[in-house]
C-alpha cells in the first residue's frame, strides 16, 4: 500500500503528464514543493514498486498500475469535494484542503457510500471529471472561454484552476457552473472579454480569468 507521500507523488505525476504521459523531475519537484533531489529519489523508489518507468536524465512516466492508483486517489478527492458541497453545505472554494486530506483515507465503503448518496456523480464541484471505480477518467473537450469569439453564447462547464482565490473571485462575480453567457466583445489590446450573463449585463473578464473558464458553445 502506497504511503500518503507516495500517493501525492502519483497524483502529481498524473496531473502533470503531458500528451506522451511524461513528466520532468523539475516540474514534479516544483508541483510538490520539494527539492529536485527529493523528487528524484522518490521516483527511483516508485520504480521499485512498478508504479513508474524511469531512466536517468529522462522524463518519468506512470505505468498503467501507477495511473490507476493515481486515478483512484483523484476519484476519492473529487467524490469528497462533491460530498462536502452537496451534503455538508460547503462552498466550492472551501473544499480543496479538506479533500486533500480525506483522499488518503483507506476505507472503500466510506467512498462507496458517498458515491451512492451523491447518485454516482461524474463531475466534481469544479466541473472536473470523477474517475470511475476502475480508475477510468472520461475526457471532456471543453473550450477555454479565452478562445471564443464575440457573439457566441456559451455555458460555463468547468475550471482549469480551482484555487481558493480564483473561486472567491468567481463568487464575487456570481459566476457558477451551468451559467450561460454571451460574449459581447473582445478587447484586442489585453485580450479581455466583455460578457453578459444572468443580471450582469456587462462584465469584463481578463485573459487570465477567461483562459481558466471552460465552456461549451451553445450558440
Partner DNA sequence: ATAATATGTTAGACTATTCTAACAAATTTG
Partner DNA sequence: CAAATTTGTTAGAATAGTCTAACATATTAT
List residues near DNA by CB under 7 A. 3-6, 24-27, 33-38, 40-43, 45, 56-59
Written as nine digits, the cell of 99 is 479533500
Are the C-beta atoms of residues 23 and 17 closer than 8 Å to each other? yes
Nearer to a copy of itself, 105 or 150 (CB): 105
Query: Which SS3 state, helix, strand or coil, does residue 73 take?
Result: helix
Identify what 49 binds: DNA, a copy of itself, none; CB under 5 to 8 Å per kind: none
Q: What part of residues 46-85 is at the interface with a copy of itself (CB under 8 A)?
A: 84
What is the Cα–Cα distance from 196 to 123, expressed in whole angstroms? 25
Please count the residues of this chain forming the interface with a copy of itself, following the rule CB under 8 A. Answer: 18
CA distances from 178 to 154, 159, 168, 174, 199 (A): 10, 12, 17, 12, 15
Query: Least Å distance between CB 92 and a copy of itself?
Result: 14
Residue showing cell 471564443: 148
Are the C-beta atoms of residues 9 and 25 closer than 8 Å to each other? no
Query: Least Å distance between CB 42 and DNA?
Result: 5
Instruction: Tell me the pairing of strands 200-205 and 180-186.
Output: unpaired
Give the number of other Cβ atoms within 10 Å of residue 147's Cβ: 9
Could you tell me which residues come within 8 angstroms of residue 198 by beta carbon, excluding any fewer than 6 positions away?
Answer: 174, 179
Length of the chain equals 219
Identify what 97 binds: a copy of itself, DNA, none; CB under 5 to 8 Å per kind: a copy of itself
Nearer to a copy of itself, 85 or 181 (CB): 85
Q: What part of residues 104-163 is at the interface with a copy of itself (CB under 8 A)?
A: 105-107, 109-110, 113-114, 117
Identify what 119 binds: a copy of itself, DNA, none; CB under 5 to 8 Å per kind: none
Q: What part of residues 88-107 is at the interface with a copy of itself (CB under 8 A)?
A: 88-90, 94, 97-98, 101-102, 105-107
Nearer to a copy of itself, 52 or 114 (CB): 114
CA distances from 16 to 55, 76, 171 (A): 18, 18, 27
Query: Least Å distance between CB 80 and a copy of itself?
Result: 10
Binding site for a copy of itself (CB under 8 A): 84, 87-90, 94, 97-98, 101-102, 105-107, 109-110, 113-114, 117
Amino acid at each position: 500500500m502506497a504511503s500518503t507521500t507516495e500517493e501525492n507523488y502519483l497524483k502529481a505525476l498524473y496531473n502533470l503528464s503531458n500528451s506522451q504521459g511524461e513528466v520532468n523531475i523539475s516540474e514534479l519537484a516544483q508541483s510538490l514543493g520539494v527539492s529536485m533531489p527529493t523528487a528524484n529519489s522518490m521516483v527511483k523508489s516508485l520504480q521499485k514498486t512498478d508504479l513508474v518507468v524511469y531512466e536517468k536524465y529522462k522524463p518519468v512516466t506512470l505505468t498503467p498500475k501507477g495511473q490507476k492508483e493515481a486515478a483512484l486517489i483523484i476519484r476519492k478527492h473529487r467524490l469528497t469535494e462533491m460530498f462536502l458541497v452537496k451534503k455538508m453545505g460547503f462552498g466550492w472554494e472551501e473544499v480543496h484542503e479538506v479533500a486533500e486530506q480525506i483522499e488518503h483515507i483507506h476505507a472503500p465503503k466510506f467512498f462507496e457510500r458517498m458515491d451512492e448518496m451523491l447518485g454516482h456523480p461524474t463531475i466534481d464541484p469544479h466541473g472536473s471529471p470523477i474517475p470511475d471505480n476502475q480508475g477510468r477518467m472520461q475526457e471532456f473537450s471543453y473550450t477555454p472561454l479565452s478562445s471564443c469569439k464575440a457573439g457566441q453564447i456559451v455555458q460555463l462547464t468547468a475550471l482549469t484552476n480551482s484555487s481558493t482565490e480564483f473561486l472567491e473571485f468567481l463568487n464575487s462575480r456570481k459566476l457558477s457552473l451551468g451559467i450561460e453567457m454571451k460574449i459581447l466583445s473582445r478587447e484586442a489590446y489585453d485580450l479581455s472579454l466583455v460578457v453578459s450573463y444572468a443580471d450582469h449585463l456587462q462584465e469584463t473578464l481578463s485573459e487570465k480569468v477567461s483562459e481558466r473558464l471552460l465552456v461549451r458553445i451553445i450558440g
